[in-house]
Amino acid sequence: MKSSPLDRVSLKNPVHLLALGFGSGLIRPAPGTWGSLAGTILGSALLACLGLKIFLILTALWTPFAVAAERQMACWVVGVSDGDTLTCLLPTKKQLKVRLQEIDAPEKGQPFGKKAKQYLSQLVFKQNVTLSVSGYDRYQRILATVYLQEQNINLEMVKNGMAWVYPQYAKNPLYFQAQDLAQQQKIGLWRDPNPTAPYEWRKQNKAGKHGE
């Protein structure tokens, strides 16, 4: 099996290091000399090889993490705690506590707290859903976007005025757009003339919701 030119590039080889110095500009012969021209060409070629080699290595190292960060799993919803937290059952019968990421639903003691829970229940209770998992929160609940077929349930909660965008954690601009539209149309919790965001309500009541 023939070896690739990349396999012959070594930072321990003095010739390679010299060429690397020329190509990077760390070694600069007098302008206009043959040494300058040759060194630049040789060094640039070696830098290209090294760059590709490093790129391939970094890609190989990063890919498993990228896949893990976007991993998906299917489960059966067996419980809804509130408007942004549910419990589902894996095919292995293991139960998972899931926190809908990027959104924050009203607390039970807030206006629309019960309605938010009821609405989420109507959408997903006793349904097979797909979780697009990004990680865990500090309460060891799975952080995920929940999909019912192609429907983004997290986004639906915001669209229908049953949850706020959680600005501290939200990244998808679609959530902010949906919240603006719901607010303009006074849908759900936006019927209240002075609605309080759940994350602000928790601060005022000094009662941290289990999983915010």
Q: What residues act catalytically? A: 99, 107, 141
Would you say 80 and 115 are in contact if contact means Cβ atoms under 8 Å apart?
A: no
Amino acid type, 69: A
For residue 128, the SS3 value is: strand
Would you say 7 and 31 are in contact if contact means Cβ atoms under 8 Å apart?
A: no
Total Cβ atoms within 10 A of residue 102: 24
Alpha-carbon torsion (156, 89, 111, 207), positive or negative: negative
- Residue 123's nearest CA partner among 107, 143, 147 is 147
User: In the block, which residue shows the tokens 């010739």?
Assistant: 15
Burial of residue 68 (number of CB atoms within 10 Å: 0-12, 13-18, 19+): exposed
For residue 142, the SS3 value is: strand
Would you say 121 and 111 are in contact if contact means Cβ atoms under 8 Å apart?
A: no
